Amino acid sequence: MKKLIACTCVLVILGSSGSFTYANQTTSKTETVRAASQSLQLVTPEKDTSISTNNLVLEFTAPKETRIRVLVYYNTSLEKDRENFVLAFDPILLEIGALQRGWAEVDLRRGINRIDIIAIYKDGTSDKITRLVTVRGVEDVKRYLENNTATTSASELLKGIVGTGKRP
């Protein structure tokens, strides 16, 4: 008899706590999805990066009928610590369709490039995402490794090549 009462109590507790937990999770997921579907999100590249080719395909998501403007700048400064970005080409203009996805191929120059993606929503508000993309040739990476192998650790060398550490 004690086992039956204990099992009943456990089932009642589990049954009642599950309904409270379920209600809280549903509300937060709905708010997250609603907020994410109403904003610009850059799928590729996810963060600032280094590449070896001069072409890069941008992939982004945004609500339907959002106008997208892609601006590509390159660094004209000859100093390592200073950056002076100049607009490289005419802006790329796109409008997001029913799939709520967009793609744009951009040409980059060797060195540091800044890419600004500006979304202008149907209601007139705007959003902006900026990425720094460094284009390096194989020779640049080889020279960087030769100059810094003796003085830095392996992890610092990798960070320098990828673009998250000290710039070559």
Q: Which two tokens stand for residue 143?
A: 């020279």
163: nearest Cα among 123, 136, 127 = 136
- Of 8 and 163, the one with more pLDDT: 8
d(CA 68, CA 62): 9
Looking at the structure of the chain, the number of domains it has is 3
Structure-block tokens of residue 145: 């490794």
Structure tokens at 21: 């937990």
Are residues 45 and 8 part of one domain? no
pLDDT of residue 100 exceeding 80:
yes
Same domain, 13 and 75: no
Is a pLDDT exceeding 50 seen at residue 11? yes
Helical ranges in the chain per DSSP H: 2-37, 138-148, 154-162
In this predicted structure, the answer to whether residue 143 has a pLDDT above a threshold of 80 is no
Closest CA to 132 of 148, 114, 119, 120: 114
Same domain, residue pair 11 and 52: no
Alpha-carbon separation of residue 44 from 96, 126, 135 (angstroms): 16, 20, 16
Does pLDDT of 26 surpass 60? no
Residues 90 and 151 in one domain: no
More confidently predicted of 95 and 145? 95
- Answer yes or no: do 108 and 148 share one domain: no
Same structural domain for residues 90 and 20? no
Minimal CA–CA distance to 129: which of 49, 56, 48, 75?
48
Quote the percentage of the chain above a pLDDT of 70. 68
List the domain range (segments joined by +) for residue 162. 136-168
Report d(CA 69, CA 40) in Å as an integer.
12
Entry pTM: 0.64
Tens digits of per-residue pLDDT, 30-63?
A: 334 434 557 888 888 888 888 888 899 999 899 9
